[in-house]
Copies of this chain bind each other. A is one copy, B any other.
C-alpha cells in the first residue's frame, strides 16, 4: 500500500475509466445536451476504450419538476435506450443516485430489465447509513454500485475510517474518494487514498477518485492516487463539470498506457461538439474564484455566482469569502 503499483510505463489491468461528462458537465448546462451530442459522446467513449459512461442523475420527480431540466437529470430508461439501444458494447452504463433526492424504490427496474449497469450512490458522510440501505437495495436488483462520499475534505479521519468500515460491510463494489471542493493537494489526496485503499483491500473492494480542478490539480491528484492503487478514475471531456470542472479525459487517456485507451476520437469530438458548447456560452474550468473556494475548502457556489455575473473584482471577492468563513 505504501509503494506505487507499477511504473509510468506499465499497464494496470485493474484500471477503469468513467466518463462523467453528462452528469458533472450537466451541472453547467442544466443537463440540456442535444440527442446528437449524447449519441456522439456515447460512440466516442466506446471507440476510446472508456469503461463506464455516466448518463446523469436519477433525480426524484416528486422533488424536481421534469420540465425544469434536461432529461439527463432523470435518466429515464427509455431516454437512455433511445441513445444506446441495448448497448451492444463493452462499455457499461452508469447513473448517479443522490441520497435523499432520489425515489430509488420506485424509479429503478431490476437490472435484468434495464440497460443500466452501475448505480453510483452519492452522499455526505452523515448519510452513510441511508447510502448503505440504497446500495444493498441496488445489489438486490442486480446492479454494480459505488458509494461516492462527497465533501470529504471537511471530514476528520476517524469519521472517514468509521464510514469506510461501515461500507466494508455493505454490498458496495467501489468506494469513491471525492474532492468535491477541489481543495486537496496531491499530498492530501494521497494520504486519504491510502486510508481508503487500506480499508477497501481488507474486504476486497475497489477505490475510485473523482477530482475537481479548483487549484488546477484534478489531473495531478488523479494520477497520484491511481499510482498508489486507486483504480476507478472519473474524467470528463475537457474537464466539463461544475465550477472549475474535473479531470480532463484527454489528459487522463493520454497518460494511461493500456493500448485499449485511445485519445484520437476524443479529439474529433472536442472539435465538433465541445467547442460549440463553449461558443454557446456554457462556462466551466479553472479560474481565480474557484481557486479561492478550493483553497478555503468551501462549496464553490459563491464562486459560481461571481463567475456567472462576470465580475472581476477578485480581491474584493476573496475578502468577502474570508469574512463569512
Contacts and interface: CB of A to CB of B under 8 A. Distances in A.
Contacts of A267: 288, 314-315, 318
A159 interface: no
A209 B264 CA distance: 32
Contacts of A319: 264
Interface stretch (A64-72, A132-140, A211-219): A211-219
A81 to B, nearest CB: 30
Interface residues of A, number: 36
A110 B137 CA distance: 78
Contacts of A220: 186, 216-217, 219-220
A223 interface: yes
A227 interface: yes
Number of copies: 2
A188 to B, nearest CB: 7
B215 A315 contact: no
A315 B271 contact: yes
B248 A270 contact: no
A251 interface: yes
Interface in A169-219: 185-188, 215-217, 219
Contact of A291 (B251, B268, B295): B251
Interface string A239-265: 000000000101100110000000111
A125 B264 CA distance: 34
Interface of A: 4, 8, 185-188, 215-217, 219-220, 223-224, 227, 248, 250-251, 254-255, 263-265, 267-268, 270-271, 275, 288, 291, 295, 312-315, 318-319
20 contacts: A4-B187, A8-B188, A185-B223, A185-B255, A186-B220, A186-B223, A186-B224, A187-B223, A187-B227, A215-B251, A215-B254, A217-B220, A219-B220, A251-B291, A254-B291, A254-B295, A264-B315, A268-B315, A270-B288, A271-B315
